[in-house]
Structure 1
Amino acid sequence: MTRVAIVTGGSRGIGRAAAERLAADGTAVVIVYAGNKAAADEAVEKIKADGGQAVATQADVGDEEAVAAAFALAAETFGGVDVVVNSAGIMPLGTVADMELEVFDKIMRTNARGTFVVSQQAARTVRNGGAIINVSSSVVGLRFPQYGAYAMSKGGVEALTLILARELRGRDITVNTVAPGPTATELFLDGKDQATIDTLAKQPPLERLGATDDIAEVISFLAGPARWINGQTIRANGGII
């Protein structure tokens, strides 16, 4: 039986790399995207061109009806859901003193509520033997200034992970979080000058930014063979923390 994955935020960045890697592993993939249909369709075509199976569907991850519809599409198209990757996220920056609360609420809706809503559907529908993989950030530990709201949203994701793993006792479903360090994605690079990027790239002992494939490799491991890793947060950051 072919395993089936839902990847939120799957049209770009880490989500897209994860979708492509899971498809290469033989998993049928449902790419959930927020608004960029062209990028999502491009990701689907790339997977199909490489011999994989994929479809795309639009959903606001904070909207429980839209998320339920995405899970229903996975069941109708491929027969069920085995793997869920919570990769949808936004990262507006600002100090605690200056951030507009409207921006804070948007961060929380996508990163915290979105992960909860998707995890709720996953808990109800993922088949025994499956895997739920959340995406956090190493900034939860690094605690850079201006990342307060973002780190707060991702800290909640990490807290949820072990709780959900324990709640799914008896179903052979693992729940883990990957917390990337600085990774060369459009989301990360946006608004940063070259000097800032160079400084961040030198922080890990490996002296480079992460690549999306680095993170996708960890997600692939947690989605497949890593059956004895459960309730954990893996800081995939080259040794930065």
Structure 2
Amino acid sequence: EIDRLENRRRKFIADVSHELKTPLTTISGLVEGFKNDLIPENEKDRGLDLIDREAKRLIRLVNENLDYEKIRSNQIKLNKVSIHLHDMFELIEEQLFVLAREKGNKIIIDANEHDTVYADYDRITQILINIVKNSIQFTTGGNITLKARKTGKETVIEIEDTGIGIDTKEIESIWDRFYKADLSRTSSMFGEFGLGLSIVKQLVQLHDGNINVVSEKQKGTKFTIVFPNE
């Protein structure tokens, strides 16, 4: 187990170096081009857009690592409140609408307008966006459904897609900090550095909740998150 984690740590450091170097090199090259007036007038808008996009990607990469370290060192403080799930789902749909449309996907909301969850607003937003973005990435021309139901003691949230699914042998690994998706896929499956679902799981556990996933290849994946009620 120690050897396995050490190998993943080394792979992670290599990934970090590569991921950070690429946008920094792009930004540096374009800035140099602007300073020396080497970029044609008709290419300047495109260059500025690329600088903006790569700078934002750098911020995402850094923030993802900072989040993980804060969670690991128990620096996250939760401010739990009652949150209306239907409103939260609509917010997620609004934020990810363009991303879903680009893949020909539809986000479906199946929740009672009166149902609430007792959670930290910012962190549950982070949890849901991470999972829904993952579902969108591996679904094409399908549906991502956000469901909620409430019992006497807990609130259950389900995020189900009709995508390509996760191989049975990979299910347990998706929660590992250094897990990376198959390189043959178009991009990182669970966050820029393979930290996304590791962060999600720890945030759910900080809420005294639990999360699990079931999946079938070429049929879809369902994440189930359970939060205790107030």
TM-score under structure 1 length normalisation: 0.24
More strand by share: 2
**In terms of Rg, which structure is larger?**
2
More helix by share: 2
